[in-house]
């Protein structure tokens, strides 16, 4: 880990070098990894198609970097510490040696079930060590994983499986989440009614929830492991992968249409997650690092699995939720394992804040050294609570700004080394060249300015394409501004040159740190038989960051209360409970321009309760709708 930056001067030097000579810079970072064959060329790119190649000609396997290379000296170091949902159940520790053995074993299970290099594998599992084993086993043999978060519905799983034509699904009978049991296999069964590409389903036992096992299709994880054991040779050589071979696809929402499959490739993603993990958190050997995200999201991929493991770190994963059995659970975990670094989301901080300080005050948090935040802007109140109550004013907070498409941190403080200001993501990491753009496509230079945030130059962890639709990738990220990657975020650069992310500038919501497309929720609501049309906007929510406000035009004869419930059920079924609107307001009409475009700006103001701030409505087809919507909104608030 000698690519760690140790001082502000070193940061400045590294940054300068990364801009003046990016190939040399990333070549040197790449030298800290294990290659079966070294690359010929560090970078070959254009943003017009886009066509981005890092470490061209390099051959490697990411699991050799995450596992094998640590065995010799650190084989007995814990790779994964697993804390179960129920604190009275035994925890599990997998050392690097043990994790490698399990990954090889399960990689052989995948092979036995006809999975080959390049095949897609859908993973729908709770937060158990077998989830990590599944990802790495896919990577071991060159299969491309597509993890679907356990909160998504059968329909969402089916859409994702079909889009990538997955051949195999890995799931479990169920999952524990707080006091609930989620019936994961049943959800997969419902999904598979629509999926022809799936040949096999591997089912892990976790909850002993009754499941239907279909002959010829469904097999038990445990039985398959036994078969491998009786076959004799437990090892599984790491497939030689090209630097640009696909590692995984992960679906994320945008402002239009269905979620897109963000594609990350092998070498660049490995280098970038490893480099950013080691630097942002300043991880030191022997430390216990706890990321509270779910592996169903990019944060879990990059900062529970690949980043920490490639650096030989000890990564703690937690199966449960922050409020079970009570709102002190995170702090119990910190105390129990003497956690040094915790990486969580503002929404979790706000929700725990709301439960009151008695859940944190009597806990021993003295092991903590660094605090991380991710997923959405952290408001100052939450920042200060995190700083004072969790970090006892002695831990740096890294507010890490990045996106699924980015693979890893782009703009963030480096813990204890670069400055921090509450609610600011601060400075770009080496290799990252931000630009603020105006509406005419010009870069806004200088400080104390705001604009749309773009990145001018490639970095190794960036997405390469969107699955099955390269044109959509180009359109979404590379067409708005010439020769730039467009993030979809607005941003302010203060007089000192520090960056503050101000939120999305497109029709994408951030609800509890999860990205939700307004169009997707609208489409789901519109599926309800009594709905004529709908419009979704976000509004400030004290815990979730943004809440979902739905304006719905329904048929006249409906019973509003029961239709509301039906709409919630429809959204749950089509997307998942995470996309359920917090507020549903029935309206007779929506504010539209003469060309028929919904004026969301007005709807946003009404959702925020800023009734006098709706602004200019003279360009509307029918300006009187605004007053009617406001009156109803006022009634609802009473
Ligand atoms: C969007 C990306 C990347 C991990 C989890 C979310 C917002 C993320 C921050 C932050 C302000 C943030 C942005 C971004 N966001 N981190 N530290 N400060 N905003 O990943 O689902 O791909 O969403 O989350 O709006 O565009 P994601």
Segment 228-239, tens digit of pLDDT: 999 988 899 999
Residues of the chain with pLDDT > 90, as a percent, come to 96
pLDDT of residue 557 exceeding 70, the answer is yes
Q: Which atom of ligand 1 is nearest to the CA of 373?
A: 17
Does the CB atom of residue 538 touch ligand 1 within 6 A? Answer: no
First to last CA, the chain: 58
Does the CB atom of residue 301 touch ligand 1 within 6 A? Answer: no
Which residue puts its alpha carbon closest to atom 5 of ligand 1? 375
Would you place residue 254 in the very low, low, confident or very high pLDDT band (cuts 50, 70, 90)?
A: confident
How much distance in Å is there from the Cα of 403 to the middle of ligand 1? 5
Q: Which atom of ligand 1 is nearest to the CA of 402?
A: 3
- Report CA Rg, the chain: 24
Pocket test for ligand 1, best of 295, 372, 403, 411 (most atoms within 8 A of CB): 403
Q: How far apart are CA 380 and CA 397, in angstroms?
A: 12
Question: Which residue has tokens 């109803």?
Answer: 632
> Which residues on adjacent β-strands are paired with residue 561?
none
How much distance in Å is there from the Cα of 545 to the middle of ligand 1? 12
Mean pLDDT of 9-30: 98
Please name the residues in contact with 457: beta carbons below 8 A apart, sequence gap of 6 or more. 19, 22, 431, 433
Q: How far apart are CA 417 and CA 57, in angstroms?
A: 35
How much distance in Å is there from the Cα of 39 to the middle of ligand 1? 32
For position 113, what pLDDT does the model report? 98
For position 255, what pLDDT does the model report? 83
Which residue puts its alpha carbon closest to atom 13 of ligand 1? 376
Residues of the chain with pLDDT > 70, as a percent, come to 100
Would you place residue 286 in the very low, low, confident or very high pLDDT band (cuts 50, 70, 90)?
A: very high
Given a contact cutoff of 8 angstroms between Cβ atoms, the answer to whether 213 and 223 are in contact is: no
Q: Please state the pTM of the whole predicted model.
A: 0.97
Among 106, 102, 104, 99, which Cα is nearest to 76's?
A: 99
The torsion angles phi and psi of 2, rounded to 5 degrees, stand at -80, 15
Q: How far apart are CA 333 and CA 603, in angstroms?
A: 42
Residues of 89-103 as b/e, b for ≥16 C-beta within 10 angstroms? eeeeebbbbbbbbbb
Which residue puts its alpha carbon closest to atom 11 of ligand 1? 377
Please name the residues in contact with 392: beta carbons below 8 A apart, sequence gap of 6 or more. 365, 366, 368
Give domain 508-637's CATH architecture.
Answer: 2-Layer Sandwich (3.30)
Which residue puts its alpha carbon closest to atom 6 of ligand 1? 375
Does the CB atom of residue 425 touch ligand 1 within 6 A? Answer: yes
Q: How far apart are CA 137 and CA 140, in angstroms?
A: 5
Angle at 425 between CA 421 and CA 431, to 5 degrees: 130
Angle at 594 between CA 588 and CA 599, to 5 degrees: 60
For position 82, what pLDDT does the model report? 99
Does the CB atom of residue 409 touch ligand 1 within 6 A? Answer: no
Q: Which atom of ligand 1 is nearest to the CA of 504?
A: 25
Q: What confidence tens digit (pLDDT) does each residue in 473-501 have? A: 999 999 999 999 999 999 999 999 999 99
> If you average pLDDT over every residue of the chain, what do you get?
97
For CATH 2.30.38.10, the residue range(s) in the chain are 434-504
Which residue puts its alpha carbon closest to atom 10 of ligand 1? 401
Does the CB atom of residue 477 touch ligand 1 within 6 A? Answer: no
Q: What confidence tens digit (pLDDT) does each residue in 140-150 have? A: 999 999 999 99
Mean pLDDT of 167-193: 98
pLDDT of residue 638 exceeding 90, the answer is no
SS3 content of the chain, % helix, strand, coil (to 5): 35, 25, 40
Which residue puts its alpha carbon closest to atom 23 of ligand 1? 403
Would you place residue 593 in the very low, low, confident or very high pLDDT band (cuts 50, 70, 90)?
A: very high
Q: What confidence tens digit (pLDDT) does each residue in 325-375 have? A: 999 999 999 999 999 999 999 999 999 999 999 999 999 999 999 999 999
Give the domain 434-504 fold. Answer: Luciferase; domain 3 (2.30.38)
Q: How far apart are CA 264 and CA 244, in angstroms?
A: 9
Mean pLDDT of 579-603: 95
Q: Which atom of ligand 1 is nearest to the CA of 488?
A: 26
How much distance in Å is there from the Cα of 504 to the middle of ligand 1? 9
Q: CB-based burial of residue 511 (10 Å sphere; 0-12 exposed, 13-18 middle, 19+ buried)?
A: buried
How much distance in Å is there from the Cα of 108 to the middle of ligand 1? 36
For position 397, what pLDDT does the model report? 98
Longest dimension (CA), the chain: 77
Go through the chain and tell me how many residues it has: 638
For position 29, what pLDDT does the model report? 98
Would you place residue 1 in the very low, low, confident or very high pLDDT band (cuts 50, 70, 90)?
A: low
Question: Which residue has tokens 């990590």?
Answer: 132
Please name the residues in contact with 64: beta carbons below 8 A apart, sequence gap of 6 or more. 34, 36, 238
Q: How far apart are CA 459 and CA 84, in angstroms?
A: 36
Q: What confidence tens digit (pLDDT) does each residue in 390-404 have? A: 999 999 999 999 999
Pocket test for ligand 1, best of 147, 375, 487 (most atoms within 8 A of CB): 375
Does the CB atom of residue 397 touch ligand 1 within 6 A? Answer: no
Which residue has better confidence, 301 or 615? 301
Q: How far apart are CA 481 and CA 492, in angstroms?
A: 18
Would you place residue 442 in the very low, low, confident or very high pLDDT band (cuts 50, 70, 90)?
A: very high
Q: How far apart are CA 144 and CA 130, in angstroms?
A: 17
Mean pLDDT of 612-635: 93
Q: Which atom of ligand 1 is nearest to the CA of 501?
A: 11
Q: CB-based burial of residue 323 (10 Å sphere; 0-12 exposed, 13-18 middle, 19+ buried)?
A: middle
At residue 497, the 3 state secondary structure works out as coil
Which residue puts its alpha carbon closest to atom 8 of ligand 1? 375
| DSSP label of 301 | I
């Amino acid at each position: 880990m000698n690519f760690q930056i140790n001082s502000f001067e070193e940061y400045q030097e590294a940054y300068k070098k990364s801009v003046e000579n990016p190939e040399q810079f990333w070549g040197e970072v790449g030298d800290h990894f294990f290659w079966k064959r070294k690359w010929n060329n560090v970078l070959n790119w254009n943003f017009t198609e886009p066509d981005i190649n890092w470490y061209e000609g390099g051959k490697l396997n990411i699991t050799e970097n995450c596992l094998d290379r640590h065995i010799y000296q650190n084989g007995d170091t814990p790779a994964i510490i697993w804390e179960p949902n129920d604190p009275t159940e035994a925890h599990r520790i997998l050392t690097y040696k043990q994790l490698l053995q399990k990954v090889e074993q399960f990689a052989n299970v995948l092979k036995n079930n006809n999975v080959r290099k390049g095949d897609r594998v859908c993973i729908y599992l709770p937060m158990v060590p077998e989830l990590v084993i599944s990802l790495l086993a896919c990577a071991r043999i060159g299969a491309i994983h597509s993890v679907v978060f356990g909160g998504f519905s059968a329909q969402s799983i089916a859409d994702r499986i079909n889009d990538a034509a997955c051949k195999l699904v890995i799931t479990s009978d169920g999952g524990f989440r707080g006091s609930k049991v989620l019936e994961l296999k049943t959800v997969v069964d419902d999904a598979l009614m629509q999926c022809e590409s799936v040949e096999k389903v591997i089912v892990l036992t976790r909850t002993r929830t009754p499941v239907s096992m279909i002959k010829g299709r469904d097999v038990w994880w445990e039985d398959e492991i036994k078969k491998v054991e009786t076959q004799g040779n437990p090892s599984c050589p790491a497939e030689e992968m090209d630097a640009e071979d696909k590692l995984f696809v992960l679906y994320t929402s945008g402002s239009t249409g269905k979620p897109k499959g963000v594609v990350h490739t092998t070498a660049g993603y490995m280098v970038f997650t490893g480099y950013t993990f080691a630097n942002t958190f300043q991880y030191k050997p022997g430390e216990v690092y706890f990321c509270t995200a779910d592996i169903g999201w990019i944060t879990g991929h990059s900062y529970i699995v690949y980043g920490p493991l490639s650096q030989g770190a000890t990564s703690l994963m937690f199966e449960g939720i922050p409020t079970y059995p009570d709102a002190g659970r995170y702090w119990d975990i910190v105390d129990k394992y003497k956690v040094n670094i915790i990486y969580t989301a503002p929404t979790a901080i706000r929700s725990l804040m709301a439960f009151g300080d008695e859940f944190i005050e009597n806990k021993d948090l003295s092991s903590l050294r660094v605090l991380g935040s991710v997923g959405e802007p952290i408001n100052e109140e939450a920042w200060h609570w995190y700083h004072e109550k969790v970090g006892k004013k002695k831990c740096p907070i890294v507010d890490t700004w990045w996106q699924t498409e980015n693979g890893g941190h782009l703009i963030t403080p480096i813990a204890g080394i670069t400055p921090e200001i509450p609610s600011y993501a601060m400075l770009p990491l080496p290799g990252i060249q931000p630009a603020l753009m105006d509406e005419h496509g010009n870069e806004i230079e200088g400080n104390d300015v705001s604009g749309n945030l773009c990145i001018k130059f490639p970095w190794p962890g960036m997405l390469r394409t969107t699955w099955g639709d390269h044109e959509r990738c180009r359109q979404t990220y590379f067409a708005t501004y010439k020769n730039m990657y467009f993030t979809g975020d607005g941003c302010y650069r203060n007089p000192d040159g520090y960056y503050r992310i101000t939120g999305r500038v497109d029709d994408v919501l951030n609800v509890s740190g999860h990205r939700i497309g307004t169009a997707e929720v609208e489409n789901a609501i519109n599926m309800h038989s009594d709905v004529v049309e709908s419009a979704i906007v976000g509004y400030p929510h004290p815990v979730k960051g943004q809440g979902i406000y739905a304006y719905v035009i329904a048929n006249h004869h409906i019973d509003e209360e029961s239709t509301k419930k039906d709409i919630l059920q429809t959204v749950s079924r089509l997307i998942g409970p995470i996309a359920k609107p917090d507020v549903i307001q029935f309206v007779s009409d929506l504010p539209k321009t003469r060309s028929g475009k919904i004026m969301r700006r007005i709807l946003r103001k009404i959702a925020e309760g800023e009734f006098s701030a709706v602004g200019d409505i003279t360009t509307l087809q029918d300006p009187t709708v605004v007053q009617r919507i406001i009156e109803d909104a006022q009634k609802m608030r009473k």
